[in-house]
Amino acid sequence: MRNFFVGVLSILLIVTFLASASADRTSNSTVYRINKKYRIVNNSSSDATDVNLTFYAFDNFENWAYQRVLSENIALGFPKEITHNPDNRIVNVDLGRIESEKSVTISVSYLVRVDAVYMDLEPEGVRGDIPSGYENYTKPIDNLWQSDNPLIKNKSHELTAGLTNYYCKVKKLAGFVENHLSYELQPQECSAFWAYEHGWGDCAEYTNLIIALCRAENIPTKMVRGYLPFTRLYGSKTNELPEVGHKFAIVYLPSEGWVPLDLTYLIDGEFQFGNLSNKHIVKLVSDGRNLVRDSTISIPDARISYSYKKTNPNLQILISGQVKREVAITTKILSQIRSHQRSLEISVKVSNEGLRRGNGVKVKLTTENEYFDVPSPRKIPTLGPGESKTLQFELGMKKSAENKLVKAIVLYNAPGYENLRYEDRLMVTTTVSHDFFEPLVKMVKEILEKRFYLIILIMVLLAGAAFVVRR
């Protein structure tokens, strides 16, 4: 009899302290170490003088992207100047003279933290019209974004006819580009009109076409160029520069501001609109006016100017580098298995893909408390580089659920870094059969919602237990 009352008290305490779903925003933090070299080569018989190298440095971003430059080392030995425009940091280096048959190498290294962004866009959240002041982002760019071309203009009008919501307009135009183009790597970047006519391209052509279509509808857009390492977008996972160069767009939506739009980075077969992964490292943002030189597309990763007396030395810039994950613990929900009628078994894999060990790793599930009993968090004291662990969680089912979000969240520290986070998401649909005990469980829960009655109930149970012991 004593064991019965102890069991009842345990059940009451467990039900009282049910876990609630977390409302935290996704971070999916990764810290990258980026090493880059600019080698300026003079293979001619003439000296080059007044040599100036200009390149874009990584910068901090918020809202449509989350990126933080944690450290920067520009090993120059030459005078330099860092300037800013509204979207970029630009480094100008005075190299002076480069003699014939000589070269100069500039080494740059960065530590950059990149977090994923999930804006959870909905048409209802995009209200009103484009405000004034964004006209420069709606203009055509000759030989690149031909938004004034009659074919592109007619197609954009055809696709958006009858639509007034800017979210719906962009979604419609992006869907057309996705279906009209086939993904195929290009040896050199081609314009929006070229992509429209030929029907194929890589991330550059997809981006150029969606920008031209949006600008034809007076929707402000910009181009974003950076890196997308450790993906299979280029046929194999690589981290070499500049092979992992990537391009996507940002569009301006009323009441939302600038929003990322990547048509070639697919998740579950869908392009990303309002979402940006932690693999997107941003290097350059442009309204297009600096992307064409002498009627040729020329993305300004690095440019050089110089003087000479007789023969043009035709200096070359050779760019190389590598991206490494300094800190990167990831999580992946592997499976969900119904272990019995009232619970799901969730398998979660935690992997350290970075170069530094993770300490105090905490793994937890969060979801809607109305439908599930959330298990207690699990801890991994330390997780070394290249190590992974698979944890099992039992998710209690309270009632049937359809497309309910379950998150597996990892919180951890690493040497030199604190409060890092990564998560994976799973939509769960379950059916719970009613049984004899369900009304009793429901009644107990309703009682427990009243703290006053809970105290009285526990006192009665304790008094009953004492009475039984005396007998």
- How many whole angstroms separate alpha carbon 400 and alpha carbon 433? 8
In a domain, 10, yes or no: no
- How many whole angstroms separate alpha carbon 69 and alpha carbon 57? 10
Among the three residues 327, 346, 366, which one is the final residue of a domain in this structure? 327
At 11 the three-state DSSP class reads helix
Asked whether residue 455 carries a pLDDT value surpassing 60, the answer given is yes
Mention every residue, 6+ apart, whose C-beta is less than 8 A from residue 1. Answer: 465, 468
Question: pLDDT band at residue 21, thresholds of 50, 70 and 90?
Answer: very low
Structure tokens at 26: 């996704």
Asked whether residue 86 carries a pLDDT value surpassing 80, the answer given is yes
- How many whole angstroms separate alpha carbon 180 and alpha carbon 171? 14
Tell me how far the alpha carbon of residue 337 is from its chain's centroid: 29
In a domain, 223, yes or no: yes
Which of 221, 270, 269, 213 has the alpha carbon at shortest distance from 248?
221
pLDDT in tens, 312-333: 999 999 999 999 999 999 999 9
How many domains is the chain built from? 3
In a domain, 70, yes or no: yes
pLDDT of residue 453: 61
Q: Which of 217-226, 297-306, 337-346, 364-373 has the lowest mean pLDDT?
A: 337-346
Mention every residue, 6+ apart, whose C-beta is less than 8 A from residue 435. Answer: 341
pLDDT of residue 134: 96
Asked whether residue 17 carries a pLDDT value surpassing 80, the answer given is no
pLDDT of residue 430: 83
Among the three residues 312, 327, 342, which one is the final residue of a domain in this structure? 327
Mean pLDDT of 392-414: 92
Asked whether residue 432 carries a pLDDT value surpassing 60, the answer given is yes
Which residue shows structure tokens 């979402």? 275
pLDDT in tens, 343-374: 889 999 999 999 999 999 999 999 999 999 99
Question: pLDDT band at residue 467, thresholds of 50, 70 and 90?
Answer: low
Q: What is the CATH number of the domain that holds 274?
A: 3.10.620.30
- How many whole angstroms separate alpha carbon 285 and alpha carbon 247? 10
273 and 360 in a single domain? The answer is no
139 and 181 in a single domain? The answer is yes
In a domain, 354, yes or no: yes
Quickly list DSSP for 168-209.
HHHHHHHHHHHHH-EE---SS---HHHHHHH-EE-HHHHHHH
- How many whole angstroms separate alpha carbon 261 and alpha carbon 276? 8
46 and 155 in a single domain? The answer is yes
Asked whether residue 3 carries a pLDDT value surpassing 90, the answer given is no
Q: Which helix (H) or strand (E) holds 3?
A: helix 2-16
Structure tokens at 468: 């039984």
| Whether the Cβ atoms of residue 342 and residue 432 lie closer than 8 Å to each other | yes
- How many whole angstroms separate alpha carbon 110 and alpha carbon 321? 11
Mean pLDDT of 147-174: 98
| Whether the Cβ atoms of residue 371 and residue 404 lie closer than 8 Å to each other | yes
320 and 344 in a single domain? The answer is no
Q: Which helix (H) or strand (E) holds 442?
A: helix 438-448
In a domain, 8, yes or no: no
Question: pLDDT band at residue 216, thresholds of 50, 70 and 90?
Answer: very high
Go through the chain and tell me how many residues it has.
Answer: 471
280 and 236 in a single domain? The answer is yes
In a domain, 275, yes or no: yes
In a domain, 264, yes or no: yes
Which residue shows structure tokens 């035709």? 314
Asked whether residue 237 carries a pLDDT value surpassing 70, the answer given is no
Main-chain dihedrals φ then ψ at residue 102, nearest 5 degrees: -120, 165
pLDDT of residue 23: 33
218 and 319 in a single domain? The answer is yes
Q: Which of 19-28, 103-112, 221-230, 384-393 has the lowest mean pLDDT?
A: 19-28
- pTM for the whole structure: 0.82
| Whether the Cβ atoms of residue 206 and residue 176 lie closer than 8 Å to each other | no
Environment class of residue 46 by beta-carbon count within 10 Å: exposed (0-12), middle (13-18) or buried (19+)? middle
At 455 the three-state DSSP class reads helix
276 and 318 in a single domain? The answer is yes
Quickly list DSSP for 119-149.
----GGG--S-PPTT-GGGSS-BTTTB-TTS
| % of the chain exceeding 70 in pLDDT | 86
| E-state strands within 238-328 | 240-241, 245-253, 257-267, 270-273, 275-276, 281-286, 292-293, 296-297, 302-307, 316-327
Q: 362: domain range? A: 331-430
117 and 220 in a single domain? The answer is yes
Which residue shows structure tokens 């509808």? 217
Tell me the angle at which helices 166-180 and 150-160 cross, rounded to the nearest 10 degrees: 120
| Whether the Cβ atoms of residue 298 and residue 237 lie closer than 8 Å to each other | no
244 and 312 in a single domain? The answer is yes
| % of the chain exceeding 90 in pLDDT | 72
Q: What is the CATH number of the domain that holds 417?
A: 2.60.40.10
Tell me how far the alpha carbon of residue 152 is from its chain's centroid: 30
137 and 71 in a single domain? The answer is yes
Mean pLDDT of 15-20: 28
Tell me the angle at which helices 2-16 and 438-448 cross, rounded to the nearest 10 degrees: 70
Question: pLDDT band at residue 441, thresholds of 50, 70 and 90?
Answer: low
User: Would you report the helix, strand and coil content of the chain in percent, each value rounded to 5?
Assistant: 20, 45, 35
245 and 343 in a single domain? The answer is no
- How many whole angstroms separate alpha carbon 99 and alpha carbon 79? 18
pLDDT in tens, 34-59: 999 999 999 999 999 999 999 999 99
Structure tokens at 20: 């609630």
Asked whether residue 380 carries a pLDDT value surpassing 50, the answer given is yes
384 and 304 in a single domain? The answer is no
Mean pLDDT of 447-465: 67
pLDDT of residue 74: 86
Give alpha helix (H) positions in 65-218: 150-160, 166-180, 192-198, 203-216
